Amino acid sequence: MFGLEKRDTFLLGVVIVLTLFAPFILNPFPANSAMAQFNAGYPDLMQRFVIFGIFAIGFNILFGLTGYLSFGHAAFLGVGSYSAVWMFKLLSYNVVPALVLAVIMAGLFSALIGFISLRRSGIYFSILTLAFAQMSFNLAYSVLTPITNGETGLQIYTSDPQYLQSASAPAFPNLFGAAMNSSTTLFFGGWTFTFSVGYYFCAAFLILAFYLAIRIFRSPFGMMLRAVKSNQQRMNYTGLNTRPYTLAAFVISGMYAGLAGGLLAAMDPLAGAERMQWTASGEVVLMTILGGAGTLIGPVLGAGFIKYFENIFAKINDNVLHGWFAFMPDGIEDAMVAIIHPFVGKGWHLTLGLLFMLVVIFLPGGLVEGGQRLGRVFRRKDHNAGSVESDAAQQRSEAAE
């Protein structure tokens, strides 16, 4: 009846293949070619793709399913990071206790904030979460300096106790000895592929997070969350208490954010207050909407898209532009560089903003809807990601009309 099980398995398979082969897929250009700056297959960026993918998947469980738009989820990311770094400081560089505490602390913190914020809905809920996140940011930045180390950010010093750290273990976050920053490089012709322990560690969590999200989406609980978005009045008069449903969704998404924050700290053992700022909360909203809120794969796509822009477009400076247009006569070359200049380098936000506008106006269902429309144009018989998501994307476009 809900003949989606096969498709969900397929979707999970796609995500597994993409994450496992990401070092190849994201490095399509030889290392010394002019296009090499579009390569995204280096560990630092790939880690960000999957970590923010996890963050967005979790956010989507709240926003995509229940429709409650939180503007404060970066606070839980920050709590996760601080918790993880504290575990590194107190116990050892082993990531297991760090991640466990990150998820638990983010869960507790989101239960508290959710309990208060969920007394209101719509715009008031959004404002409440925003206010709490900014309070958290300010606490981390100044008031709670003994815990957060204020504007310097929390980091690990040689004077830290690290009671469980053995002498032989690496002096960097590690999983039972496998340091997160260690990697192997494969040279193949002109190509360079880097396989990092940290990336694959995060990728495993992304796959797990994605699998859990599918289970939640297809469960009676997930259906109740969609019912919350659709009609709370009918829910109340059908004997269902909406408050614990929304709170559970809020806490689950907060724990996802905590996991993402913990992983960020595991990749680079420091935590700063800026991670909790409202711009960071806004970013995950953009990721989810850009990819397709309420769809399974959308948030992952959105996260990858935004992080790619942030890192790749931001690197394109005037020298690079001059290199591209060198074949043109001087005057035209300068003119072209002058036109494109505001959209790259520090101006990457401008490009992202334009793209975001285009997506929201023409593809209210996000990138997933775009993929779906392409799929419809080509009428392929194979099950692509688009058709799997058709339900949610269709609702989205109906709602937009």
Partner 1 sequence: MAILEVKNVGKRFGGLQALSDVNLSVAENSVHAIIGPNGAGKSTLLNCLVGKLIPDTGSVMFDGQSVLGRKPYEINQMGISRVFQTPEIFGDLTVMENMLIPCLAKRDGAFQLNGWSRIVGQRDMIDKAEEMLRDMNMIDKRHMHAASMSRGDKRRLEIAMCLAQDPRLLLLDEPTAGMARADTNNTIDLLKQIKDERDITIAIIEHDMHVVFSLAERITVLAQGTPLVEDTPDRIKGHPKVREAYLGESQDAA
Which chain residues interact with partner 1 by CB under 8 A? 1-2, 5, 215-216, 218-224, 226-227, 229-231, 233-241, 244-245, 248, 252, 394-395, 398-399
Cβ 142 to partner 1 shortest distance, Å: 38
Distances (CA, A) of 110 to 2, 19, 165, 226, 272: 33, 29, 31, 20, 19
Is residue 183 exposed (0-12), middle (13-18) or buried (19+ Cβ within 10 Å)? middle
Q: Which is nearer to partner 1, 168 or 241 (CB)?
A: 241
- Tell me the C-alpha distance between 185 and 198, whole Å: 14
Cβ 401 to partner 1 shortest distance, Å: 11
Cβ 391 to partner 1 shortest distance, Å: 8
Sign, CA dihedral 199-200-203-208, equals negative
Contact 368, 361 (CB under 8 A): no
Cβ 242 to partner 1 shortest distance, Å: 8
Cβ 117 to partner 1 shortest distance, Å: 18
Cβ 390 to partner 1 shortest distance, Å: 11
Q: Helices (DSSP H) in 218-297: which residue ranges?
A: 220-230, 232-236, 242-267, 278-291
- CA end-to-end span of the chain, whole Å? 29
User: Phi and psi of 196, rounded to 5°?
Assistant: -110, 145
Residue 307's nearest CA partner among 286, 289, 293, 321 is: 286
- Tell me the C-alpha distance between 86 and 74, whole Å: 18
Contact 31, 241 (CB under 8 A): no
Question: How would you classify the pairing of strands 191-196 and 178-179?
Answer: unpaired
Cβ 125 to partner 1 shortest distance, Å: 19
